[in-house]
Structure 1
Amino acid sequence: MKTIVNILVLVFCWLSCHVLAVTGRHPTGVNVNTNGPTTVVITFQNLEANEQPVNAFWCGDVTATGVVIGNNPCVSGTLLGYLPDRYNLARIQGESGFVPGAGTDLPGGTPGTPGSMTRNMNDVMSIPEAVVRRAYQEAQRGASSEFYYIRQFVNNGINTFVTVTCRLAGGGARTPLSLTRVDLDFDQASFRKSITQVEQNTLLEKFSASIRYNGTGLLKGRWEVVMPGETPPTTFDLLSEGSLSIEDRPLQKRYRLVSRFQKFLPPNGTALIPGPDPRLLPTNEAGLYQILFRVEASNDKEGNTDTLGGIVSTGGSAGFSMPTLKYFVGHSPVVEVVSTERNITLITPQNEQSLSKEKIKFSWFPAEGVATISMYRLELYEVIGEKRLIGTAMIKPQENNYQPGEKFKRKLTGTILWRVIGLNKQGVVVSNSPIRKLTIQE
């Protein structure tokens, strides 16, 4: 018996000596916008060789802060929400591939630097409005105005939880400079076109980027154009530079430079970034072009992060890829059809809403130019794997809602993705909606 006890003691001592964990994070705490989403880049420092991230969530209260080994510090009943998969841009620096669940087609990484002893994870904390709203409501009821972002790591079966303090604020000068929404469009456009068609050797209309942001500081970047025949950018290429680690920034593809921009953003939350002179944009060659809004990293004392190898600038970060503005030079019947339609705007259910089958009713605003749409099609997809189509419903163009019948309801299980597309008489897709996620309550 004594021998068994000694063995157990030795095993425990070995584990305590050899199972180490992430040692810290930077920043340790940030101010976040009380009235909207917030994005902050966080460096989790000194991960062990086998240590991997497995979860990310927010809690209203914790039993301990910093690096907590073993027990989840989230106080029972105070969970505010999980980081959505589409916002998960976390990357372990010096390793290939992104963490499971990353919501974008990010490329494999580069080999680690020879002799480097630091293994960090670059994380983009994008706080959804729903999480902030819950935290604010709890603060109104008398709870603390602070809540916590928690990253869970696992190493040889040992769990480590690392907390970052989030302080409710106004989203102004003491909040990290980050973009929360970007829209590109022509200045005189009555509605956003999928593709704008122009004649050869003619000027485009003036266009601009309308942005919403938190914090204050210098926003800088460049306008680029993708020429016909060039490999189009991936979602990784369109991420803002401030959202990426130093190792990943050189991996983004570059295209023909049109002009550069630099604008100081005051702490008022909205701004308009004028596009380049239309005379600088090519229209001599027929084909499809894409105008890119490339945001470069700027110095931001509220958001810069310490990687233990130096301070990295993260100003202008964003938890999403920048949109593009497409134009087609020449004549194309397909482009003429697509460019006349406005994207379909979904109404209900809201994105990431959880509902019982009895309360589900799909609804949307009809697209502009509805005369060319002969039918709407509601599509359901699996969330995991290759997002396999699991069900469809055809709706007349005069209607903009669909109440599932009993047969259709049987397809509604677990978490699904859904969207609505518009078809013309030839069955060609002429308009579509964004994809939304819906969870079915059992």
Structure 2
Amino acid sequence: MKLKLKLLSIFMGSAIFGLLMRMPTAEAVIVSPKGVNVRTFGATTVFLTFVGLNNQTPAEGLWCGAINADQSCVPGTIFGQLPARSNRSRLSGSNNYTDIMTIPPSVARRAYQDAIRGNSSQFFYVRRFVSRTGAPDEFVAVTCRLAGGGARVPLALTEVRLAFEDGQPVPAIATGETLPRFGAEISYNGTGRLKGRWEVVLPGDPLPSERDRLTEATLPIEERPLQRRYTTLQRFDMFVPPTGRVFIPGPSPNTLPKGSTGLHFILLRIEATDDREGNSDTGIGVVNSGGVAGFPLPVLRYFVTNDKRPLNLVQPNDGARLSVQQSIQFKWQGVDGAYSYKLEVRQGEVVVLSALLGANQMSYTAPPWLKEKIKQRLQWKVQALKEDGTTIVESTANEFQIQP
């Protein structure tokens, strides 16, 4: 009898052990990279991958000076929270989460001040994950080490400005004429290869979305091939030293398409490059993150017309809805040879506002009483006049509404 009980006990123990071995085990979420150098004075952007989500959704991201044993922030040491405008995180694959950690200068400044008071020179970025099954929240921390912003900081863009050489916001040219030169002035952290291309969006092409204007390294690996491609003008591949600023000249204006009339967009596309300071391990491979940015890149615009002296309206755009709480400002492109400009605002056939402006004035702020035309369909246009008052050229009319 005792032998039977002993055998039964051994059998049941083996069965329970086998059942436990077949049960899925809960694994902690890990992050890559686990620690990074960040700029002491200014913004820093880092590509992070959280690996191993198990029925969890991401919650807020906090920066703090100290963490508890469970990696949550110690109360009283929080430096800031990831702003909604900088949150470009998204799910990646089946159980990964891509997070673009953009540290605002205000957080870096607080961390620096905390270090001056004798505390540690490192701080933490803590992301909270909430379980859909009711399990306790999980906290995952990234160690941020204050550095000078040079060679040991991930290669990331912090500001990009595109401009034409002559300062025009939207140059207008006739078919076959040449545009002024242009380029990109880029502020960045780190050092390494900056690789990319210039593209042009022709009239009739689908307009680029916000995702299309992000740098390639800002997207999860599976979304990078999905960015829309346009006509390539020129490619570049250059090494940027840890100086923090670089100017990338655009392609020769002679190479820009000028055969189609209408609005054209010039895009700067930054491709992902290998960056040992910021590359991220997804669990199945390493993702290159050189050239990450926490914002969509700006675009340049130019207008091609058959008219040798076009007069193009800049703002408000056609169909614009303007807030009654802000001043209403009209802007347009100048015309060579104009002695003055005449601005008209109409409501149907009735002129509700008319202004005569000098040749050097290509903007006009409407008087406050125009805001009384709330929700009315208004149209505005501009005429370029000679000295004798005759019309050189007249713009088309743009429609707008004033919203409460």
Report the TM range for the smaller structure's normalisation. Answer: 0.7 to 0.9
Name 1:87's counterpart in structure 2: 86
Q: After superposition, where does 1:246-395 map in structure 2 within 5 Å?
A: 246-330=221-305, 336-338=312-314, 372-375=363-366
* 1:147 aligned residue (108, 123, 127): 123
Name 2:146's counterpart in structure 1: 168
How many angstroms does 1:429 deviate by?
9.0
Name 2:16's counterpart in structure 1: none
- The 2-side partners of 1:334 and 1:83 are apart by 45
Q: Which letter does structure 2 place at the counterpart of 1:29?
A: G
* 2:190 aligned residue (215, 219, 227): 215
- The 2-side partners of 1:234 and 1:85 are apart by 19
- The 1-side partners of 2:90 and 2:26 are apart by 20
**CA gap 1:120/1:425 in 2 versus in 1, 3 angstroms:** same
**Cα-to-partner distance string for 1:304-331 (whole Å, 9 max, x where unaligned):** 1111111111100101111100111016
TM-score normalised by L of structure 1: 0.66
How many angstroms does 1:197 deviate by?
1.1
Q: Is the 8 A contact 1:27 1:306 kept in 2?
A: yes
TM-score normalised by L of structure 2: 0.72
RMSD after superposition:
3.2
Q: After superposition, where does 1:21-32 map in structure 2 within 5 Å?
A: 22-32=28-38
How many angstroms does 1:374 deviate by?
2.8
Alignment: residue pair count: 321
Q: Is the 8 A contact 1:180 1:213 kept in 2?
A: yes
Are residues 1:187 and 2:172 paired? Answer: no
**CA gap 1:263/1:285 in 2 versus in 1, 3 angstroms:** same
Q: Which letter does structure 1 place at the counterpart of 2:284?
A: G
Name 2:72's counterpart in structure 1: 73
- The 2-side partners of 1:246 and 1:165 are apart by 24
Q: Which letter does structure 2 place at the counterpart of 1:24?
A: I
Name 1:36's counterpart in structure 2: 42
**CA gap 1:248/1:318 in 2 versus in 1, 3 angstroms:** same
Name 1:433's counterpart in structure 2: none
- The 2-side partners of 1:21 and 1:80 are apart by 29
Q: Is the 8 A contact 1:22 1:44 kept in 2?
A: no
Which of 1 and 2 has greater Rg?
Answer: 2
How many angstroms does 1:141 deviate by?
1.7
How many angstroms does 1:244 deviate by?
1.2
- The 2-side partners of 1:263 and 1:76 are apart by 45
Name 1:46's counterpart in structure 2: 52
**CA gap 1:169/1:376 in 2 versus in 1, 3 angstroms:** farther
Name 1:440's counterpart in structure 2: none
Secondary structure class of the residue paired with 1:42: strand
How many angstroms does 1:303 deviate by?
0.7
- The 2-side partners of 1:224 and 1:39 are apart by 25
Q: Is the 8 A contact 1:328 1:335 kept in 2?
A: no
Q: Is the 8 A contact 1:21 1:160 kept in 2?
A: no
Secondary structure class of the residue paired with 1:338: strand
**CA gap 1:253/1:74 in 2 versus in 1, 3 angstroms:** same
How many angstroms does 1:140 deviate by?
1.6
**CA gap 1:150/1:367 in 2 versus in 1, 3 angstroms:** farther
Q: Which letter does structure 2 place at the counterpart of 1:326?
A: R
Are residues 1:131 and 2:93 paired? Answer: no
Secondary structure class of the residue paired with 2:225: helix
- The 1-side partners of 2:204 and 2:330 are apart by 34
Name 2:345's counterpart in structure 1: none
